[in-house]
Amino acid sequence: MLSVTERGLYCESGDFYVDPWLPVENAVITHAHGDHARWGCRSYLGSRDGERVLRTRLGFDASIRSADYGETLTINGVRVSLHPAGHILGSAQVRIEHGGEVWVVSGDYKTEPDPTCTPFEPVRCHTFVTESTFGLPIYRWAPQADVFAEISHWWSANRDASRASVLFAYALGKAQRVLSGVMNADIGPIFTHGAVERLNRDYRDSGVALAKTTYASSAPRDQNWAGALIIAPPSATGSPWLRRFGAISTAFASGWMRIRGARRRRSLDRGFALSDHVDWPALLQAISATGAESVWVTHGYREPVVRWLMDHGVNARAIASRWEGEMETEPIAPDESAYE
Amino acid sequence: MGGGDGNRAHRARRIGVRVRLFAQLFADLDETTKTGAKVAAMVRYFAAADPADAAWAVYFLRGDRPKRLIPVRRLAAWAMQESSTPPWLFEECYNSVGDLAETISLLLPESQQSAGRPLHDWMENVVLPLAGEHESNQRSAIVGAWRELGGTERFVWNKLITGGFRVGVSQSLVVRALSQASGIPEAVMAHRLSGAWEPQPGAFANLMSQETSDAVVSRPYPFFLAHALEGGPETLGDPVNWQAEWKWDGIRAQLIRRRGQTFLWSRGEESVAERFPELEEASALLPDGSVIDGEILPWRDGRPLSFAHLQRRIGRKTLGKILTEVPVVLVAYDLLENGGADIRGQPLASRRALLERLLTAVRTGGRILLSPLVEVSDWEVVRAAHGQSREMGAEGLMLKLLDSPYGVGRRRGPWWKWKVNPFTIDAVMVYAQAGHGRRASLHTDYTFAVWKDAELVPFAKAYSGLTDAEIRSLDNWIRRNTLEKFGPVRAVRAEQVFELGFEGIQLSPRHKSGLAVRFPRILRWRTDKKPEEADKLETLHALMESA
């Protein structure tokens, strides 16, 4: 049904690609992150929920067609539908059915609840193409309420020490999840980097409730930053943009922060292991819930996951991906640098 | 009955808080690179911790560690069993984390309990007794602890038992924190903290004690160190304010005589008394409450022997014959304690006078010598003396302000060391080898040779002295001019000439050249010289004889 080509995963019967990494005619997009939604395709199909953020990422002239979750489209005789992946707003698993065979491409996903997007739904299939970003048993997430409580505690300790709290979070998805998570924690004032604020607007316009934020660059010159929470993309780490905030404590909200060395390498004060990907137990659980006879593993710790699955009687193989290993920063669109 | 349970629960909570405190201290230290925040975290800890726990915290913060109690291979095996992780997957995880203690704590199932024991109880009743235990008892103790401890506590526990506990605080930060927590001045605290540390509540109480006439008899004072003087002494102002003496190349040491006992500490705060029994004997007549700062030197016929002689003694387990072959003396620089009083705050001139009086009054069998002074009437005279350092068997001169107190650590200003220029020689590179770490892909370790008739004989290896740009350029040349490879080592064309510097030179039957040089380093890449212009082996022999 699908084959791995130099442009990405290709469905020959339907003549479309899923998350191609080079420009193609027809692209089906799981979600708007830069390593899944690339520029230059002639037409895109994505979820209705994700339309705004996808347009922000791809530009206003991109040809984007939207489908509701669960709505079935027929592309050259192949039945295609999108199902919630719980990763970020509008993220989808792509279900592809042809000649009685069903494949599902997960894109990135998590099974934990997240108020900023529709919860993950398991989809039965014959072959499941799964991500494996955190596919090692060292990755197990603490309950998110605990993580938000830690963030809140870190912020209040900084406020008491008259410091600003700078929290690095991917501009699309993680930043909004944090803003939703701390909404009732009485944290503030909250300021944002331009790359984050632009996407906050898309989330709010899509009906997602977020804590009140102010675009940092619109603050008056004499703004007192002590006690503020500032949300910025990881690419702002160590940049001159941070100088205006005076005394700061820095932190990164990312699944990579589960490992002490990953935090220390970046010289961060704190790391909060908050991820929009499945951890090891959730990954295995999700794979099992699909009932798939065959599993393709991409994006991350492919080999260990494949070996584990094979050892447990699941037919699995690793497939190539353009995006490997620890992503230092989320790939962001070049025009986003213009926000600051 | 209900009340009893309540008390027990209360006690458990209180104790739980104590062990979490230490894990919290670790987390606080780990979470910041700012020294102010590290000190504040330690101060908070010492203010709140039970002295029995704090004594252990000091032990770990000083960098002390119990000997590795359990082979890591066993720990890994038990962790695999506890977490149902197959060995290949454990290996993948370890490669990804890069730290065994952390890998284990991340893989084990979350603990539902909270720790019920204070740190000292863990150390004294669980960790230390493990050493002699049978494997099955070790296993049940370790696995029991894993089940009992959660999160950071478990990670810290793993660090304790694997002996890899590093928290990134220097001794001086620990001193500062203890000083702030107790109100005891830093110098006194540094003194109290030097020497061996027994992790006992009494030791911690002594550390924090407001009674400053310290009772611990063996304790050395922290050493005061000099900065290197580049160029000449003329920048130091009026020579009349300065004391000059020879800079000897031995083992800097403190000789302590208190309560009829002698203690000898090296600068690394190692007790070295047993290696130099003649100094112990020589100090027998020193009055109690005397502490001398000096240099242990191999000595014969009124002058020092080379450092290599001293190395022979250090390396020896049993002394015997070496005592007569390499006799040692202590050359006394300074007096830190006199008649039981800490006199470090007095000016150098007064301390020197007291030192002279002490060594004149006491017979030491010629084993404790007064460091001779060099005349400082003007800088020209000092320069002339400096030029004679090598003949004196010294490394150069020490210049000390006459009114300087004896400080702590290395401070700029009051004390300077002015070393002589090293020996230099032009040599040809004959072998090259790749380096480590940041330079793993570059050839950075070189072997140099000089001429013996028509043959080049290797005599020194040097690793440092070139700029990064020079290293890259040389690496490129090496790759293009390799004659032969022996594993990581490449024999290269004898074309490149380098000026090497070194501190000392002596006969060595182990080297093909028959000579060994001390601290060789590259001074310059002599691209202007041809290999046949490099020095001859006879030149090295002549240098050795002149020294």
pLDDT for the residue numbered A260: 86
Between A3 and B1, the higher pLDDT residue: A3
CATH architecture of the domain with range A2-138+276-339: 4-Layer Sandwich (3.60)
Tell me the C-alpha distance between B279 and B416, whole Å.
28
Tell me the C-alpha distance between A198 and A175, whole Å.
11
Are B486 and B379 part of one and the same domain?
Answer: no
Task: Give CA torsion, residues A215, A217, A218, A224, to 10 deg.
Answer: 90
CATH for A144-272? Answer: 3.40.50.10890
Residues β-bridged to residue A294: A127, A315
- Whether the pLDDT of residue B435 is over 80: the answer is no
Tell me the C-alpha distance between B393 and B371, whole Å.
13
Position B531 confidence tier, pLDDT thresholds 50, 70, 90: very high
Q: What is the pLDDT of residues B372-391, one digit of tens each?
A: 999 998 999 998 898 888 88
Q: Tell me if B141 sits within 8 A of B40, measured CB to CB.
A: no
Are B444 and B399 part of one and the same domain?
Answer: no
pLDDT for the residue numbered A121: 97
- Whether the pLDDT of residue B465 is over 80: the answer is no
pLDDT for the residue numbered A337: 30
Judge whether B89 is closer than 8 Å to chain A, CB to CB. Answer: yes
- Whether the pLDDT of residue B440 is over 70: the answer is no
- Whether the pLDDT of residue B209 is over 80: the answer is yes
Judge whether A311 is closer than 8 Å to chain B, CB to CB. Answer: yes
- Whether the pLDDT of residue A182 is over 60: the answer is yes
* B392 found inside a domain: yes
- Whether the pLDDT of residue A333 is over 50: the answer is no
pLDDT for the residue numbered B266: 85
**Which CATH number characterizes residue B14's domain?**
1.10.3260.10
Q: Domain ends where: B419, B445, B476?
A: B419
Q: What is the pLDDT of residues A225-269, one digit of tens each?
A: 999 999 999 888 878 899 999 999 999 999 999 988 778 777 788
Kindly state the helix (H) or strand (E) to which residue B119 belongs, with its residue range: helix B119-121
Position B164 confidence tier, pLDDT thresholds 50, 70, 90: low
For chain B, percent of residues with pLDDT exceeding 90: 35
Between A245 and B69, the higher pLDDT residue: A245
Q: What is the pLDDT of residues A138-153, one digit of tens each?
A: 999 999 999 999 999 9
* B209 found inside a domain: no
Question: ipTM of the assembly?
Answer: 0.91
* B384 found inside a domain: yes
Residue-number span of the structural domain to which B432 is assigned: 423-546
pLDDT for the residue numbered A336: 33
Tokens encoding B40: 């504040």
Tokens encoding B300: 């014969």
- Whether the pLDDT of residue A324 is over 50: the answer is no
Which of chain A's residues have a Cβ under 8 Å away from the Cβ of B167?
none
* B193 found inside a domain: no
pLDDT for the residue numbered B436: 61
Judge whether B99 is closer than 8 Å to chain A, CB to CB. Answer: yes
Are B414 and B506 part of one and the same domain?
Answer: no
pLDDT for the residue numbered B206: 86
One DSSP character per residue, B179-232 reads HHHH---HHHHHHHHSS-----HHHHHHHH-S--S---TTPPPPPEE-EEPPS-
* B202 found inside a domain: no
DSSP letter for B123, please.
I
Single out the residue of B381, B459, B462, B392 nearest to residue B420, CA to CA. B392
Tell me which of B34, B67, B159, B247 is the catalytic residue.
B247
Distance from CA of A26 to the nearest CA of B (A): 37
Q: Domain ends where: B390, B419, B448?
A: B419
Q: Domain ends where: B419, B436, B463?
A: B419
Asked, colleague to colleague, whether A2-138+276-339 and A144-272 share their fold, the answer is no
Q: What is the pLDDT of residues A120-129, one digit of tens each?
A: 999 999 999 9
Stretch B56-77: mean pLDDT: 86
Q: What is the pLDDT of residues B217-270, one digit of tens each?
A: 778 888 999 988 876 788 898 999 999 999 998 899 999 998 888 888 888 666
Tell me the C-alpha distance between A52 and A43, whole Å.
16
* B356 found inside a domain: yes
- B85/A260 touch (CB, cutoff 8 Å), yes or no: no
Are B229 and B291 part of one and the same domain?
Answer: yes
Tell me the C-alpha distance between B108 and B301, whole Å.
66
Are B29 and B156 part of one and the same domain?
Answer: yes
Residue A283 CA from chain centroid, whole number: 15
Question: How many other C-beta atoms can be found within 10 angstroms of the C-beta atom of residue B511?
Answer: 14
Domain extents for chain A?
Answer: 2-138+276-339, 144-272
DSSP, collapsed to helix, strand or coil, labels residue B88 as helix
Q: What is the pLDDT of residues B469-479, one digit of tens each?
A: 788 889 888 88
pLDDT for the residue numbered A163: 94
Q: Taking all residues of chain B, what is their mean pLDDT, rounded to a whole number?
A: 84
Question: How many other C-beta atoms can be found within 10 angstroms of the C-beta atom of residue B104?
Answer: 31
Distance from CA of A259 to the nearest CA of B (A): 7
- B88/A307 touch (CB, cutoff 8 Å), yes or no: yes
Q: Is A158 exposed, middle or buried (0-12, 13-18, 19+ CB in 10 A)?
A: buried
Pick from B26-35, B208-217, B237-246 the range whose average pLDDT is largest: B237-246
Are B463 and B524 part of one and the same domain?
Answer: yes
Cα A101 to Cα A2, A68, A88: the distances in Å are 11, 22, 28
For chain A, percent of residues with pLDDT exceeding 70: 94
- Whether the pLDDT of residue B279 is over 70: the answer is yes
Kindly state the helix (H) or strand (E) to which residue A272 belongs, with its residue range: strand A270-272
Q: Is A251 exposed, middle or buried (0-12, 13-18, 19+ CB in 10 A)?
A: buried
Single out the residue of A134, A141, A138 nearest to residue A302, CA to CA. A134
Are B347 and B447 part of one and the same domain?
Answer: no
Could you confirm whether B247 is annotated as catalytic? yes
Tell me the C-alpha distance between B203 and B181, whole Å.
16
A100 contacts: CB under 8 Å, gap ≥ 6: none
pLDDT for the residue numbered B41: 93
For chain B, percent of residues with pLDDT exceeding 70: 90
Which of chain A's residues have a Cβ under 8 Å away from the Cβ of B98?
261
- A258/B106 touch (CB, cutoff 8 Å), yes or no: yes
Stretch B413-422: mean pLDDT: 86
pLDDT for the residue numbered B125: 87
Tell me the C-alpha distance between B450 and B460, whole Å.
9
* B36 found inside a domain: yes
Tell me the C-alpha distance between A260 and B369, whole Å.
53
Tell me the C-alpha distance between B208 and A168, whole Å.
42
Q: Tell me if B493 sits within 8 A of B428, measured CB to CB.
A: no
Report the number of distinct structural domains present in chain B: 3
Tell me the C-alpha distance between A90 and A176, whole Å.
13
Distance from CA of B94 to the nearest CA of A (A): 9
Cα A260 to Cα A263, A326, B63, B102: the distances in Å are 5, 14, 20, 8
Mutate to test the interface with A, among B31, B38, B158 (most CBs of A within 10 A): B31
